[in-house]
Amino acid sequence: MMLLANLERASGRCQPTPLPIPLSQPPKTMAGRRVVLFPFPSATHAAAMLQLGVLLHARGLVVTVLHADLNAPDPAFHHPDLAFVSIHESLPFLDGVAAFPDDPVAQAMALNDACEAPFQAALDAELARAVAAGGEVVACAVVDAHWHNMLGAAARAGVPALAFQADGAAAFLDDAAGAARAYASAVVLNTFDAIESPELAMIRRDLSGRSVFAVGPLHLLAPPPPQPDGGGCLAWLDARPPRSVLYVSLGRRAAAIDRAAFVEMAWGLAGSGVPFLWVIPRGGGAPPAFPEELEETARRRGKVVAWSPQREVLAHPSVGGFWTGCGWSSTMEAVCAGVPMLVHPCSGGQEAAAARYVTRRWGTGLEIAGRVVERTAVARTIRRLMARDLSPHAPRERARFLKMQARQCVVEGGLASLAIDELVEYILGL
C-alpha cells in the first residue's frame, strides 16, 4: 500500500509543477463530452493526473477536476481550460476528532471513508449540471486507483469509472487490482511497455475484456514549463564538467532518515571524491542538518539546497548520477533523462520494487550493499556509478538505452501517443 508520508499533515495546498498552458494547436471540439477526474491528494499523483487531463483536453474533451481540500492543487497552477471543483470533505484527523493513523493502509482507508460521501455528492452535482446544460454528458470518471471507495461510488452513480495508476503497473498489482476488477471499466497507467512489460501483460490477463492503457511517461507527453530555481542549482551545475555530479534527493524518504544514517551518507559522499548536489528539505519532518565538520567539503565540492527543479537538474549535462529514494515519479524522470541511479532500499513497498527494477531488471543503477548505510560502502558505490564505463551492460549505457525507449513512446505514432488517442476513442464510445 502506498505510504502517505508525502501528504501534508495539515490541510495545506499541494504545489505540483505548473501545468503546460499553451497548446501547439487548438483542440478539436467534442462538445458535450465531459470527463471528471479525481486525483489522490499527493503532489506526484495530482501532477500525473492533471497532465492526463491536459492531454484529454487537447484532444477536445471537456475536463472537470474534483479534488479534496486536503493538499488541494494551488489555484496559481490551475490550467485555465480545466474546471476545478472541491468536494469539501471533512477529515476527522485534521479536525481534532481522531488521530491520523500511522499504518499506511489505515491512512488510505480513513481518507477513502472520509471522502466517499462528498465525492458522491460532487459527482451527482456534475451529473445534474450536465442535464441542466442540455446536450452535455458526463462520459466517465477517471479516479486515482487509491480511491477504492470512489471507483464503486462512480459505478453506483451510473458513471463508467476508469482507474488511474500514477505510480506504475507493479503498484497497481499490489494495491488496486481488486477494486479495479470490481468496479473499473478500464485502467490507465503512467508507465510504458519497455519498463513494465510483464506487469502490463499480467494486468491485461487479469482484467480480460477490459481496456488497459499504458500512457506513460506522462511528463514527456505533457511537459510542464521550467520550474523556478531559487537555490541556484542550475547555475552551479553550469560550472561543473559533463556527467561529473551526483544528484542526491530521496524524496519523501528524506524525512525518515535517522541521524546515524544521515551522517554515514554525508561521510560517504565526502569520501567518494565526487561533486554532489544534495537536496535536504527544511521544516517539519526534515532530516538532520548537514554535519558541521563536513560543511567545508560541501562548500568546496558540493552544494546543499532545500529544494531543486528536479527535471531540469536531471536533464543537465553535468549530472552523471542520481541517488534516489525510488519514488515512481523520480524513477520515471531519471529513466527519461537517461541518468543512472544509486539506490539503498531500507523498507518494503513500492520503493523497494522500483529499486529492484533499477538494479536487476533494467540494469540502470547500483545498490549500496547492506541493510545499514555505511560510509565506506557509500563512497565505493558512488565511485563505481560515476566511473566512465561504456560497456553495453554498464548502468550508464543501459540508462541511455531506456531514455531512447521512453522518447520513442511519446513521438507522434509512438506507443504512449497512440494509447492516449485510443483512450479518447474509448471515452467517446462510452
Q: Which one, of 84, 70, 74, lies nearest residue 18 by Cα?
A: 74
CB distance 249 to 325 below 8 Å: yes
The three cell numbers locating residue 64? 472537470
Of 294, 314, 288, 343, give the one whose Cα is nearest residue 406: 314
Q: Is 219 a catalytic residue?
A: no
Comparing C-alpha atoms, which of 146, 142, 205 is closest to residue 172? 146
| Of 63, 255, 12, 46, nearest in space to 146 by CA | 46
Distance in angstroms between the alpha carbons of the first and the last residue of the chain: 31
Coil/strand/helix, residue 354: helix
Measured in degrees and rounded to the nearest 5, phi and psi for residue 191 equal: -160, 180
Question: For residues 313-339, b (16+ Cβ closer than 10 Å) or e, as one string?
Answer: bbebebbbbbbbbbbbbbbbbbbbbbb
Query: C-alpha cell of 318?
Result: 553535468
Of the candidates 346, 294, 301, which has an alpha carbon nearest to the alpha carbon of residue 323? Answer: 346
Q: Which of 57, 67, 79, 144 is catalytic?
A: 144
d(CA 169, CA 191): 7
Give strand ranges (E) for 222-293. 245-249, 276-279
What amino acid positions are annotated as catalytic residues? 45, 144
